[in-house]
Structure 1
Amino acid sequence: MSKTYSSAERAYREVKERILAGALPGGELISEGEIATDLGTSRTPVREAFLRLETEGWMKLYPKRGALVVPVPAGEAEHVVHARYVVETAAARGLAAADRAGVAEALREAIERQREFAAAGDLEQFAAMDTEFHRTLVVAAGNPLLIGFYDSLRERQRRMNSAAVRRHARGAEQIVEQHGRLADRIEAGDAEGFAALLVEHLSGVHQLELKGL
């Protein structure tokens, strides 16, 4: 691997991480120069990273002006949340007839980590652990097709979570409390109760009116 490629990969990973974590919010215009200076590299690897991010839909490049971080498209949040609801409730139904002790313990461990990140004021890690909490449930259900589909939403989900947490930094305690209630429903094998709480949770966190759920 060449040095240039290594620098481009590093620039790509760093800029994408900032987008997903909300440090570079949608609608912000950034330049190759400022990122290159920040990373201590030349503009060439940053240019390559920007091109790759544009191909993936995270950026829109404007020659001689810079790169625009693409905002979450209209309607995408609703689509992601609806897809998550379908997968997570299917997982909850699958777990209702299974041994749930292990997944309940894993969910509570994730909740405890969230409490720690909230107490430390680490919103980025709090948002990342939010994503992990929900994924833990899906993985525990053991359907590889659902896991693969859910993971295809992971980056969009993380970006949405980061934005939501930044909007409502004081809402971390409420999120943790709701996660506790969701974990209780899983432990009890109450798939219908879980589904009802999940609608309340997702609509509140992402400020969406979820219809048809």
Structure 2
Amino acid sequence: MASPDTAPAHPPTKQPPAADRVYRHVKEGVLERRYEGGSLLTEGELAEAVGVSRTPVREALLRLETEGLLRLYPKKGALVLPVSAQEIADVVETRRLVEEYTVRRAVPAAPALLDRLADLLEAQRGHAEAGDLAAFAVADRCFHAEIVRAAGNEILSRLYDQLRDRQLRMGVAVMHMHPGRMDRNLAEHTEIHEALRAGDADRAAAAVLGHLGRVELLVRGGGEPR
């Protein structure tokens, strides 16, 4: 038997490809608003931040440009695209159409769905207490996505998932501008959860539409509705 001194060491964990590391670093920075809309990112700065050469940086920036988060300018860098008023309107309109329909389809709600939503509400409370805006926004989106999936329409679920990054980016922006919105979101999500638990499709749909209407007002730059 080999002694502890001669036992083979565990092999080091293999890192993801360099381009993937840059892609994840920049995307998280944009979604979490560490890189604000209007910021110009240079290949040299990103290469230094991640510890890679410029070649994988270019590859990662091209991927992010195709996703609509950046616009590349040769020899200058990549501009972080601000969230436009039209994008906000399009996302909220799509969410209204999908979420009103799916919340009605989710009634009567299965016990597993109700339990999962309760877990996500608890996670949101923890993130709110910790002041973790990005994690709160992720749990917020997951709450809605669970209801969409519960309707059983795979095409609508995939469509909703395609909005994920835009929703997260807008959600973090709202939390930064209105930190008290986290408590309001919790109250509104609790109302949706209670309507589903009661098996009241009309009440659940009204709660979802009211919630989205208030979110749209805030994202468009309006004040917190009373």
TM-score (norm 2): 0.84
The question of whether the paired residues in 2 share the 8 Å contact of 1:104 and 1:183 is answered with yes
Whole-angstrom CA distance in 2 between matches of 1:59 and 1:126: 24
Pick from 125, 131, 134 the counterpart of residue 115 of structure 1: 125
- CA shift, 1:106, in A, is 1.2
Pick from 71, 75, 88 the counterpart of residue 77 of structure 1: 88
Q: How many residues align?
A: 205
- CA shift, 1:125, in A, is 0.5
Structure 2 counterpart of 1:62, one-letter code = Y
For structure 1, the 5+ residue unaligned runs are none
1:43 aligns with 2:54: yes
Is the radius of gyration larger for structure 1 or structure 2?
A: 2
SS at match of 1:184: helix
The question of whether the paired residues in 2 share the 8 Å contact of 1:88 and 1:138 is answered with yes
Structure 1 vs Structure 2 CA RMSD: 1.9
The question of whether the paired residues in 2 share the 8 Å contact of 1:160 and 1:206 is answered with no
The question of whether the paired residues in 2 share the 8 Å contact of 1:11 and 1:49 is answered with yes
For structure 2, the 5+ residue unaligned runs are 1-13, 221-226
Pick from 132, 143, 163 the counterpart of residue 153 of structure 2: 143
Whole-angstrom CA distance in 2 between matches of 1:82 and 1:99: 25
1:19 aligns with 2:43: no
TM-score (norm 1): 0.88
SS at match of 2:217: coil
Please name the residue that 2:175 is paired with: 165
Whole-angstrom CA distance in 2 between matches of 1:188 and 1:23: 41
SS at match of 2:61: helix
Whole-angstrom CA distance in 1 between matches of 2:184 and 2:56: 42
Whole-angstrom CA distance in 2 between matches of 1:124 and 1:150: 19
1:181 aligns with 2:168: no
The question of whether the paired residues in 1 share the 8 Å contact of 2:174 and 2:181 is answered with no
Structure 1's consecutive aligned runs of 4 or more residues displaced over 6 angstroms after TM superposition are: none
- CA shift, 1:73, in A, is 2.7
- CA shift, 1:177, in A, is 1.0
- CA shift, 1:99, in A, is 4.3
The question of whether the paired residues in 1 share the 8 Å contact of 2:69 and 2:81 is answered with yes
